[in-house]
Amino acid sequence: MNLFQFMGAIELGLLYGLVAMGVLLSFRILDFPDLTVDGSFPLGASVSAILIASGVNPWVATFCAVLAGMFAGFVTAFISVRWNILNLLASILTMMALYSINLRIMGRPNIALLGESTIFSPLDATGISHRYTIPIALFFIVGIVLFALYRFLISEKGLSLRATGANIRMAKAQGVAVNRQIFFGIALSNGVVALGGALAAQYQGFAVADISQGIILFGLAAIIVGEAIFNPKFILGALFAAICGSIIYFLLRAFALNTGFLGLQASDLNLVTAVLVGFAMITPKLRSKILDFKATRSRP
Amino acid sequence: MSKANNVKQVLKTLLLSLSLSSSLSATPPTKHIAITQYIEHVAADAVREGLLAELKEQGIEATIDFENAQGNAATAGQIARKLVSLKPDVIVAITTPSAQAIVNVTGKDTLPVVFSAVTDPVGAGLVSSLNEHKGMVTGVMDAPPIKEQMGFIKTILPKAKTIGVLYNPGDNGSVASLDIIKQEAKAQGLSIIEATPVKSSDIQSAILLLVGKVDAIYVPLDNMVVSAMASVSGTALKHNIPLFSADSGSVKDGAFACLGYSYVQTGHKTGKIVAKILEGTPPSEIPVASPETTDIFINRHVLEALKIPLPEEIRKQAHYY
């Protein structure tokens, strides 16, 4: 791996860190296992891509993608809350529907954004290579989203959302409108994920309907890796750990791509990534185990 | 204490792995060709096979790096970065998303890029036009010859009125070609019934839906259906329905007939362009190529079982399996 690849992994890690934060919001903070993400990520990509390709301002297109993602989340919450369907099943329904809807929105298998004006285009005007400007831009975008989510989650509204996730009966007893919290939380989560999808399409220069298979698994892996390494105690730390988990995931994947010398084939990539991510999760635990063991041995 | 230490530990491992990998990827000898494709696909794999065969025939000695994005756009981006930073003499990108990912990194004018198995290179943003294009990108395009395929069905089965189209609605390529299939079938006076299995296990029941309603079944270049061809063709034959495929390899697996480009030939064509670039021709002077000739492939056993009389002309032209 060289610097060019390293920076690529950092960029992708920041970008997909949005997905990790979205998944953190539903799975961890709201305790709502939400698979809608697998549909709302490509939804964000396809909505923004088709709008940009038909000449809409890229910021407007990105905003529409976020709204579309929020609506997808809203539908999942509606099915789950209003009709009392298990959250996992409700989200599977929306995810399945979104697969067809995304194909419809795109209308063709592949939308090219190479040469179109995207939200990254203004960076050309600076005259500095994308190698430097894109990571900085992504750093700012992700930083702003992280800060906004953090400010929201420590506000009174955010606290009632977290209370709903922590103990729904207790929250209800305290007068929190729990259903409204679930609606808003899941919509927000999918809005952030769709923003990730919209930015990914613009960053990568194209959108395809199956832009990322199994993105939800990536999101969970990023959160768990982040938690295993940073062991966050506060909400800001949790958001931060999710993004770092995402970056580490892409670094490991870039490393897995460079393991050809071990006699591994192109098709072994997923296996190598899984093993590396597994190691990243286990290593911190192993360390504390060894320390414990030493501590007990040194005791008289 | 454990938190700070953990972070340090992870950084250490990462740095170690970084230095390890960079020291082990040694500089390549002679020529260096990097190949990437987006997903394992019957057509893409055949193109790669043809490409490697052509390079061998031309006597080009090259180190080959191959990466497969396994259907993930982020991985395609990471692969693009890896291949570009290896600074090979040529990058071959099979399938549209892989080519787009590479061009997104090279910016069209740094490294020679040869795309292949791309249906619409202009629409995909790879080149500005097919003949005159600036920059370092060229390749082979292959819009499937659907018009000819529908005409072919009508020539072999002049009495046919309805054909069943068997495809996976989640397959980008199939969905994209469906409009053209409808249009061209209509031009031949054929009406269409769609059968759309979403997973391999649905294929059998999808075919049974068509039995008795159609005179023939047509399979576009659909990854899932083509991959399951052996069982698809068996079921079709059991019900005496002639099965036409857009993929020439399917005929080996028991499909009745195919008129199409051989993807292995597309690969050979790609290989010829790669050879030209290695000899020093700038990519901007190589126009985007497309396969000119179609071939006819027929499965002899199925022909005998269905007892379909072949027109003299087709009988002579066809390749038999």
Write the ipTM. 0.84
CB contact under 8 A, B72 and A109: no
Positions in chain B short of pLDDT 70: 1-29, 172
Inter-residue contact B299 to B247 (CB < 8 Å): no
Give pLDDT tens digits along chain A (300 positions): 788 889 999 999 999 999 999 999 999 999 999 999 999 999 999 999 999 999 999 999 999 999 999 999 999 999 999 999 999 999 999 998 998 888 888 877 788 888 888 988 888 778 777 788 899 999 999 999 999 999 999 999 999 999 999 999 999 999 999 999 999 999 999 999 999 999 999 999 898 877 666 788 889 989 998 988 888 889 999 999 999 999 999 998 888 888 766 767 667 777 877 887 788 778 777 877 888 888 777 765
CB contact under 8 A, B9 and A257: no
Output the six-digit token pair for B238.
Answer: 């059991």
- B19 interfaces chain A, CB cutoff of 8 Å: no
Q: Quote the crossing angle between the two packed helices B146-156 and B172-187, to the nearest 10°.
A: 50
CB contact under 8 A, B73 and A206: yes
- B71 interfaces chain A, CB cutoff of 8 Å: yes
- B82 interfaces chain A, CB cutoff of 8 Å: yes
- B97 interfaces chain A, CB cutoff of 8 Å: yes
Q: How distant is the Cα of B249 from the closest Cα of chain A, in angstroms?
A: 22
Chain A hits for B74, CB-CB cut-off 8 Å, are 12, 16, 200, 204, 212, 250
Q: How distant is the Cα of B321 from the closest Cα of chain A, in angstroms?
A: 31
Look at residue B16 in the predicted model and tell me its pLDDT. 52
**Pairing relationship of beta strands B243-245 and B216-219 according to DSSP bridges:** parallel
Look at residue A123 in the predicted model and tell me its pLDDT. 84
Alpha-carbon distance of B144 to B177, in angstroms, equals 8
Look at residue B101 in the predicted model and tell me its pLDDT. 93
Q: How distant is the Cα of B320 from the closest Cα of chain A, in angstroms?
A: 33
Query: A147 CB contacts (<8 Å, ≥6 apart)?
Result: none
Residue position matching structure tokens 């972070």: B7
Chain B hits for A257, CB-CB cut-off 8 Å, are 67, 78-79, 82
Look at residue B12 in the predicted model and tell me its pLDDT. 60
pTM listed for this prediction: 0.80
If you measure CA to CA, which chain B residue comes closest to A15? Answer: B74
Nearest to B93 by CA among B101, B85, B104, B105: B101
Buried-state track B142-167, b at ≥16 Cβ within 10 A, e below 16: bebbbeebbebbbebbeebeebbbbb
**Which of B5, B9, B18 to probe by mutation at the A interface, max A CB count within 10 Å?**
B18
Chain B hits for A287, CB-CB cut-off 8 Å, are 2, 5-6, 9
Chain A window 137-196: which residues touch B at a Cβ cutoff of 8 Å? none
How many other CB atoms are found less than 10 A from the CB of residue A124?
A: 11
- B172 interfaces chain A, CB cutoff of 8 Å: yes
Q: C-alpha B296: how far from its chain's center?
A: 18
Q: How far is CA A29 from CA A11, A77, A194, A238, in A?
A: 26, 15, 19, 10
Inter-residue contact A112 to A209 (CB < 8 Å): no
